[in-house]
Structure 1
Amino acid sequence: MVLLLVWSLAASAQQTSLAPLAEQISPSVVNITTSTTVAGRTGPQGIVPEGSPFEDFFREFQDRNNDGNRAPRRSSALGSGFVISEDGFVVTNNHVIDGADEITIEFFSGEELPAEVVGTDPNTDIALLKVETDEPLPFVSFGDSDVARVGDWVIAMGNPLGQGFSVSAGIVSARNRALSGTYDDYIQTDAAINRGNSGGPLFNMNGEVIGVNTAILSPNGGSIGIGFSMASNVVTRVVDQLREFGETRRGWLGVRIQDVTEDVAEAMGLEKAAGALVTDVPDGPSKDAGIEAGDVIVSFAGTEVEDTRSLVRQVGNSPVGESVRVVVMRDGQTQTLKVVLGRREDAESDDPEVSEEELEDSAAQSKDMLGLTISPLNSDLREELELDSSVQGLAVTAVDEVSEAFEKGLRIGDVITEAGQQKVTTIAQLEERVQAARDAGRKSILLLVRRAGDPRFVALSLEEAEE
């Protein structure tokens, strides 16, 4: 019985060879060689610290190996890509061609053609190239990455370690992986991906591209079966915009947000920890639509918002100038607001100044509560903390290191601007908000804290508040 089972599996494997599929899609996969001018070194930079007693030794060693030639030199790099149209559009990773002076595409047939950059998107590490040719090129189409299931077979193709065209097979190990980027949506696979595979395609069994091989997790630089491909449904939107505009044009809501944690949800009286909590609303689309700090965005364009990551992706995938319905939770009630999206790339990185009159200096006093020592802002504190006149609230002048406040990241110099979603500028107002939270049966109170202008909400237990 065991021998029969083994024979059956072997026969099945022969019948499901990947060779026909590999032969079909290989002509669309390309090797990419880039050439970059690297400035010549004039000393042992990066080898020993400046002023080290070994500096002269290493300079002599370097000069001897460079034969005294410190002129700029050419550096080459290898990567992969794939053709998406018969007229010569090629997709690869941005990091493959970033900074390149010359880009050469080598096709499966051995033919080589120069390529020009159409556009790049560092946020998703995608680049679109173009080669000029009189003959139609073999190309592949994108598939729907959302229908890929964990356990589905996939094929990775590319130029691993500069060894030339190569095929590896595996399965989808996981989906919706996030590494470090705002718009990350990676497919994880155990198909072998090595250096040089970057920018190459990840195919499903229909010969459709469902991912662009981008990164690996490895302690030694080689494949250990944990590779990541940017999902095709992200890539297609980027490629379409690069092809049409030469740049990306993502929607912009114009808010600062943070995740709704369990303690924040309890402090706000929410039924569940979901949605995106608005911490700040600078001048922009959301402010024009009436969204306020302290609102919880629970729905965007008819889609439920799970957390900040999902909202950022939804907004980024929306067309600039589109009017969308945004549902927020405010004071225990839902409100629907219409927001006309701006363009993310045009948004200013710095917060606009808030034009408000400075409050009169409060009496010099402080209060210990919630594990914090809190003082009203006055001229001396503003100068000490380097705060301008637009900042209003209560300054944290000490933090008990064994308190919940310290554990949750509050530090000296932080400014509490809201408590219980209402502005506070005096200790009496903060005490009133704490008592109101107790009277409402809350176990914690929500504080809006600013540090160097950046706001975030923190929920602190009322057990540490003094009666």
Structure 2
Amino acid sequence: MKRIGSLLLVSVFAGAITLGAYKLFFESENYKLVSDEAKTPFQTVSYTSTPSSSRLSDVDFTVAAENTVNAVVHVKNMSINRGSNSIMQFFYGFEESQRPQIGTGSGVIISPDGYIVTNNHVIDRADKLQVTLNNNKTYDAELIGTDSKSDIALLKIDAENNLPYLAFGDSDHAKIGEWVLAVGNPFNLTSTVTAGIVSAKARALGNADHSFIQTDAAVNPGNSGGALVNTNGDLIGINTAITSQTGSYVGYSFAVPSNIAKKVVEDIMEYGTVQKGILGIQSPNVNTQYAVENGINEIDGVYVGNVVEDSGADIAGLKTGDIIKQIDDIKVHKFSDLTGYISSKRPGDKLKVIINRDGDVLTKPVVLSKNKTLEVPVMGFVVKDLSEKDQKKYKTKKGVKIVDVPQKYRGYGLVDKVLISVDEEEIDNIQEAKKVFENINRYERTSITILTEDGERERLIFQ
């Protein structure tokens, strides 16, 4: 019995020791250390709702699209290619077959009685024009007038009922970054809508004498003459061009601003031709060496390089060296800002021009005048018809006055001289000057005869 009791006691004691050792050496408490200074590697996220206008999902194009598609039409330009005078035709009287050619584009109905605006290049050299509405009805169209410089043309169709149309919006108040829709008829489809934003305003393009709205809304062949509208459905531009090496859309497209298109259309309807008002200043090209050497390329505004005599700018007192900073309520940062706004104005319109003159800010009221000057081809001289004052001063009634020349000719002292003749052909006015310079060969010698203020004739030869 004692032996059994001793074994039991030893067993209990050994179990206690084993349990104690396990608790002491093997079992540990599960703790999590939390520090008030600990930093999370993740960025915090705000779940505060943003304004609905800033969310892409809340931008609604449906109303603008519905109001636009029925006012955008398909324009078909039909012309006859009569071929060239071949040697077979010359000797045997053989006449080549006349081949019809068809060009297509888009147009925008701008009045319920059927006036349609499109691009000049869409209808250029057409023998017959047809317009197809979005409901597939087709009408013969009459060409009312065109303006090649702005690339705008006005057509008219006679429909049985009033037509859906778009009213011109105010392109001056379009904002960079705002959503726009491009509506047209690319690839002979019915009205097609693409979306994008205004990428830039007052964009200079080629030799155009006005500026463009740039957008990234997809525009393809056939979109020319179509509508550029904002999300309210306001017509803010006429789609005109793309920049592409392939001929298809690659990310940039351009539209004639609605304020310019509206002015051209109104001029065509009222006067039969475009009435262009001019400010009367010349500004050096900022990309020239002359501009770089004189710091003109770094100016925020338009540098007045020359003021045209008897122009609105001259009468208002603008001077060479002034920097135009604003015109009416439009800020001017570059020359295309200035030309873009003035292109929507007419002779006789009064503008408020704000300039910087040697650090002083001045406001000059300027009345736009008719264009009395002309830049002649090839040599690029800017000339004007002689005024009565000029005729008395130079003692001549023939010739045109040179008021500006390109940089490469500035060392010849041509400005303020009277151009009498070119290659022995006399000149009476700026239109004759244009024709004469059109006929000169840029690869051959050209001689000009000028008259100085002293009445002396000088003959210069240019190679």
The answer as to whether partners of 1:300 and 1:311 remain within 8 angstroms in 2 is yes
The 5-angstrom pairing of residues 162-311 of structure 1 reads: 162=188, 164-172=189-197, 174-176=199-201, 177-180=203-206, 181-191=208-218, 193-258=219-284, 274-298=301-325, 300-301=327-328, 305-311=332-338
Give the partner amino acid of 2:411. Answer: D
Match status 1:316 vs 2:343 = yes
- Deviation (angstroms), 1:272: 5.6
| TM-score relative to the length of structure 2 | 0.61
Taking the aligned partners of 1:13 and 1:285, their CA distance within structure 2 comes to 47
User: Secondary structure of the equivalent of 2:283?
Assistant: strand
Deviations 1:39-75 (A, max 9, x none): 32234xxxxxxxxxxxxxxx89x99xxxx64254432
Q: Identify which of 134, 137, 140 aligns with 1:111.
A: 137
* Alpha-carbon separation, structure 2, partners of 1:149 and 1:295: 28
Q: Deviations over 1:362-395 (max 9, x none)?
A: xxxxxxxxxxxxxxxxxxxxxxxxxx99999xxx
Listed as ranges, the gaps of 5+ residues in structure 2 are 1-54, 376-382, 416-447, 450-463
- 2:281–2:305 contact (8 Å) kept in structure 1: yes
Report the Cα distance in structure 1 between the residues aligned to 2:353 and 2:58, rounded to whole angstroms: 53
Deviation per CA, 1:120-142: give whole Å up to 9, x if none: 22222111211112311112233
AA at the equivalent of 1:318: K
- Please tell me whether Structure 1 or Structure 2 has the larger radius of gyration of its CA atoms: 2
Q: Using a 3 Å threshold, how does the CA distance of structure 1 residues 80 and 268 change in structure 2: closer, same or farther?
A: closer
Counterpart code for 1:30: V
Which residue in the other structure is 2:411 paired with? Answer: 414
Query: Residue 305 and residue 259 in structure 1: after superposition, are their counterparts in 2 closer, same or farther (change >3 A)?
Result: farther
2:168 aligned residue (126, 142, 148)? 142
Q: Is the 8 A contact 2:227 2:235 kept in 1?
A: yes
Cα distance per residue 1:57-105 (max 9 Å; x no partner): xx89x99xxxx64254432211111212111111111111122122111
CA RMSD of aligned residues (A): 4.4
Q: Deviations over 1:318-366 (max 9, x none)?
A: 332234455666677676655432123x6555334666679xxxxxxxx
Displacement after TM superposition at 1:304 (Å): 5.6
SS at match of 1:137: coil
Q: Amino acid of the residue matched to residue 36 of structure 1?
A: S
Shift of 1:301: 4.9
Equivalent-residue separation in structure 1 for 2:260 and 2:105 (angstroms): 21
2:141–2:156 CA contact under 8 A, matched in 1 = yes
The residue number in structure 1 matching 2:12 is: none
Whether 2:63 is the aligned partner of 1:38: answer no
Structure 2 residue matching 1:230: 3-state secondary structure:
strand
Contact 2:134 2:191 in 1 (8 A): no
Give the count of matched residue pairs. 342
Cα distance between partner residues in 2 of 1:294 and 1:15: 49
Q: What residue number does 2:184 align with?
A: 158
2:262 aligned partner, one-letter code? T
Instruction: Name the residue aligned to 1:351.
Output: 384
CA distance in structure 1 between the partners assigned to 2:402 and 2:59 by the alignment: 67
Deviation at 1:20, TM superposition (A): 6.3
Secondary structure of 1:351 counterpart: strand
8 A Cα contact 1:278 1:296, kept in partner? no
